[in-house]
Homo-oligomer: A and B are copies of this chain.
């Protein structure tokens, strides 16, 4: 059997997240059906990241096994012909047997998009989080720096998380004001707890609004208490940008 790695972009608006589930259309199921149709056999697709309902991806990664003789780089074109236009295979290649979309991961990069204006955006309504009060981006930038490095991020995990360790390393975190009233938060790290990026985004929004001071962030991280960090920012502002191997 050959192993094929694919990189997937999707608009999460019309899907119940990545993972296959009963009675709801998901990205994984849609991709599996397209590949199965292409190859004329049932194919299981293993994805890296279980993105939630409404979350977008520029760089989800998955793999599947096949005996097909299609060249590795041609799968993207062939599968795209069978996918709806809100899911696109951006890249495909044959990889070694050892590669695993989830277990070979070295890190991930996310983006969180905030639309900061008095009224919501018609054009970016499903692709960003609307925040009405004018945010102080300089304070958000200062706050972001405290997250970089290895920390126990227990205060930034959805309650009920069941992982063995809540220690993660954040490699970089950047807040930048862009045109059209957009604020980008870009964060990369070796791994992320459940809802971690959305809770960090919600915390930075509180700093931007002045509900929290940037100087309070180290204490919030050290306190390991989810009730002290900000609200979980909504799913539609979150983008899985890239997965490192």
Contacts and interface: CB of A to CB of B under 8 A. Distances in A.
A11 B117 CA distance: 17
A118 B85 CA distance: 15
Interface string A34-72: 000000000000000000000010100000000000000
Looking at A80, A125, A239, which has the most chain B CB atoms within 10 Å of its CB? A125
A11 B58 contact: no
Contacts of A11: 122-123, 125
Contacts of A209: none
A85 B128 CA distance: 13
Contact of A122 (B86, B123, B125): B86
Given A58-B180, A180-B58, A85 B123 contact: no
Contact of A119 (B90, B122, B239): B90
A10 B122 contact: yes
Given A58-B180, A180-B58, A76 B122 contact: no
A161 interface: no
Contacts of A122: 9-11, 85-88
A109 interface: no
Interface residues of A, number: 25
Nearest to A7: B119
Given A58-B180, A180-B58, A123 B119 contact: no
B58 A125 contact: no
Nearest to A89: B119
Contacts of A85: 120, 122, 125
A139 B10 CA distance: 32
20 contacts: A9-B122, A9-B123, A10-B123, A11-B123, A56-B123, A58-B123, A80-B119, A80-B120, A85-B120, A85-B122, A85-B125, A86-B125, A87-B122, A88-B120, A88-B121, A88-B122, A90-B118, A90-B119, A123-B127, A123-B239
